[in-house]
Amino acid sequence: MNLKKGYKQLVAEAEQQIQAIDSSELKARLENLDESVVIIDLRDVREVKREGKIAGSLHIPRGMLEFWVDPDSPYYRTEFDKAKELVLYCNKGWRSALATQSLQNMGIENIVHLKGGMEQWQKDGGAVELNKS
């Protein structure tokens, strides 16, 4: 199988079209977190169970994101009713870059992703909420 574009090129192209924040910017947003800012963990459920998640974030598996944010979808989540800004993250920032681009293409304007993802968040000493089960 020959690819015309690999994941690295897709992510690089997405990063040119989207906005990213770093761990310190996310920490500042978390200090003033309200229901208008929705922080979304796109990682696989196994990653979340194993490593926890950023405190206050909503877990949405990457494959369901577009369906959960679209009010016309039968999978729409009411967490988005009052959302004014979305912050997406994954493990390394790759999935969240592509997902941010996808939601921008759907018309969502106030959206950013966490540069470096959960790995960078943990390196920078960000708070993690562990799975309680």
d(CA 61, CA 21): 21
Contact of 120 with 114, CB cutoff 8 Å: yes
Q: How far is CA 41 from the centre of its chain?
A: 5
Residue 13 lies in a domain: no
Q: Is residue 109 part of a domain?
A: yes
Sole residue written with tokens 């998640």: 53
Answer yes or no: is 48 within a domain. yes
Confirm whether 12 is domain-assigned.
no
In a domain, 25, yes or no: yes
Amino acid sitting at position 2: N
Q: Each residue of 73-119: pLDDT tens digit? A: 999 999 999 899 999 999 999 999 999 999 999 999 999 999 999 99
Residue 104 CB contacts under 8 Å (≥ 6 apart), including other chains? 17, 18, 111
Does residue 90 lie in a domain region?
yes
Residue 78 counted as domain residue: yes
Residue percentage of the chain with pLDDT more than 90: 83
Quick one: average pLDDT of 60-68?
Answer: 96
CATH at residue 81: 3.40.250.10
86: containing domain: 18-129
Report d(CA 59, CA 53) in Å as an integer. Answer: 8
pLDDT at 34 (0 to 100): 76
Q: How far is CA 70 from the centre of its chain?
A: 16
AA letter at 98: L
132 pLDDT band (50/70/90 cuts)? Answer: low
Percent of the chain with pLDDT over 70: 98
Domain count, the chain: 1
On the question of pLDDT at 122 being above 70, the answer is yes
